[in-house]
Amino acid sequence: MSGVNTALKEIAASELNAIINKIAAAGVVGAGGGGFPTAFKLKTKTPIRTVIINGAECEPLLKVDQELMARYPEELLATLATLVQATGAETGVITLKEKYREAHAVLAGEIRNYPGLRLHLLPDVYPMGDEHLLTYNVTGQTIPPGGLPLQAGAVVLNVETLYNIHHALAGRPVTHKYVTVTGAVRQPVTARLPVGTPVRELLNLAGGPIENEYLLIAGGPCMGKVTSFNAPVTKTTKGIIVLPLDHPLADRYRRDLNRELKIALKACCQCMQCSDFCPRHLLGHPLEPHRVMRAVTCGLADITLPQALLCSECGLCDFYACPFSLSPRQVNRKIKAELQQKGFRPGPWQATTPSPFREGRQVPTKRLIDRLGLKEYAARPVTFIEDSITVNRVHLPLRQGAGVAPRPVVRVGDRVEKGSLLARIDDDTLGSGLHASISGTIITLNSEIIIEGGGD
Ligand code: SF4
Ligand code: SF4
């Protein structure tokens, strides 16, 4: 019997290697925003017990994963079943919020055909998509602070990443991205469009901004970054939020970081609200943002500061908890950058026990939306546009995820077809390859590749 088991393991291992090679060849990275090369997530000697699909889509206003789950249940479930079998995992779990009724209904209907898979419904609280929180919710096991889901026997993949794996297994590389465009636009949309499409094209698709002066946020309202009219959509862009310039959230995004830090350090009264609501702290991680604030205020380069490395930058402390709208997140971000620049490596943290107060302190997304002043935008219907728009020029940054930039295999003047390889990554180097998202001619090649012409 053990001979049979060994043979089965060998078959599964060779199948997994073939799958990993296809995923790497297609340039798949975490589409939820992380951008970690997916092949590397699966290339592990640590046994995987659970493959978790992250359909929490916890940032308010975004509607990409909900749409994909509702529209492509068969593709997603079949691909998950393939991954579960190839990795030798015990189960595959699609997580989604209870409120995604349409997606839940179609997935619940289809999943009966997949005995090894199950759905896991999540409450509508923010944040929820953080791998630490999601893994704990699904497995009941905490990941050690600073650690990876694999330490709890899990691999976590975003819904759109799974959908890209579905295409990768059929030999189709990542050329397109689903993005929600919402906020102060005429018609909010979730659209599929070529990677490299400028943000201005997305705004046109949404009927244009309804304000003359506005701020553009790439990502979600809590963890997004200010972007510009001409910036390209990348493999990790999940949303574009248009905020009137006088919106309170736009004001938060425009604050000068250094001034913000000075105010924060003077005004902090050590009320501890930031720590009381910090989701990582509530999971038992040794992160207490009020202590970090105190250490910085008092100029203490003490043992508290490395705690900042555990911050997920979810923003709950500044957008929700702090009575003075101070930003422990910004303070943590600055300390993190300094520690990382110095090559600081914290010692291993131990697995933790969640706080008994965790349940009662989770923040309902609805309440957060009210606090952020986004109620009006959250109530608007979002049109789904599946047909890819025609774009005449795309800007493709070489590096579109974690790791090093891939090496170009094309030259200026080359004619490329949609899906052809533009830049490759060497085997075993952390990074991801890049493919042409439209057919056309390469007109620029430096840290980005610009393709002109051809359409889609
Ligand atoms: S941003 Fe604030 S609330 Fe979120 S993990 Fe960091 S310290 Fe905690
Ligand atoms: S919630 Fe605000 S005031 Fe209170 S400890 Fe945290 S940063 Fe300071």
What does the pLDDT look like over 285-294, one tens digit per residue?
999 999 988 8
Closest CA to 396 of 164, 175, 107: 175
Does domain 390-456 bear CATH number 3.40.190.120?
Answer: no
Closest ligand 1 atom, CA of 281?
8
Is the beta carbon of 282 within 6 A of some atom in ligand 2?
A: no
Distance 117 CA to ligand 2 centre (A): 43
Per-residue pLDDT, 295:
84
**1 pLDDT above the threshold of 80:** no
Q: Which two tokens stand for residue 188?
A: 């909010």
Cα 373 from Cα 377, distance rounded (Å)? 9
pLDDT tier for residue 438 given thresholds of 50, 70 and 90 = very high
Closest CA to 36 of 403, 442, 414: 403
Given a contact cutoff of 8 angstroms between Cβ atoms, the answer to whether 409 and 421 are in contact is yes
**321 pLDDT above the threshold of 80:** yes
Per-residue pLDDT, 306:
83
Is the beta carbon of 288 within 6 A of some atom in ligand 2?
A: no
The CATH number of 175-247+373-389, from 3.10.20.600, 3.30.450.40, 3.30.70.270, 3.40.640.10, is 3.10.20.600
Share of the chain above pLDDT 70, in %: 95
Closest ligand 1 atom, CA of 318?
2
Other CB atoms within a 10 A radius of the CB of residue 230 amount to: 9
Parallel, antiparallel or unpaired: strands 363-364 and 125-126: antiparallel
Least confident of 19-23, 73-77, 388-392, 412-416: 388-392
Least confident of 32-46, 99-113, 333-347, 374-388: 333-347
Top mutation candidate among 265, 266, 269, 363 for ligand 2, by most atoms within 8 Å of CB: 269
Is the beta carbon of 321 within 6 A of some atom in ligand 2?
A: yes
Of 431 and 266, the structure prediction assigns the larger pLDDT to 431
- Work out whether the CA dihedral 141, 367, 189, 181 comes out positive or negative: negative
Top mutation candidate among 132, 223, 314, 334 for ligand 1, by most atoms within 8 Å of CB: 314
pLDDT tier for residue 352 given thresholds of 50, 70 and 90 = confident
Is the beta carbon of 272 within 6 A of some atom in ligand 2?
A: yes
Which amino acids bring their CB within 6 angstroms of ligand 1? Answer: 278, 280, 289, 311-317, 328-329, 332
Top mutation candidate among 260, 262, 274, 371 for ligand 2, by most atoms within 8 Å of CB: 274
**115 pLDDT above the threshold of 70:** yes
Is the beta carbon of 159 within 6 A of some atom in ligand 2?
A: no
pLDDT tier for residue 349 given thresholds of 50, 70 and 90 = confident
- As a whole number, mean pLDDT of residues 23-27 equals 97
Closest CA to 381 of 47, 92, 72, 61: 61
Q: Atom 6, ligand 2: which residue's CA is nearest? A: 274
According to CATH, the superfamily of the domain at 2-169 is: NADH-ubiquinone oxidoreductase 51kDa subunit (3.40.50.11540)
Per-residue pLDDT, 59:
94
pLDDT tier for residue 301 given thresholds of 50, 70 and 90 = low
Per-residue pLDDT, 456:
47
Place of tokens 């702290």: 281
* Domain regions of the chain by residue span: 2-169, 175-247+373-389, 257-371, 390-456
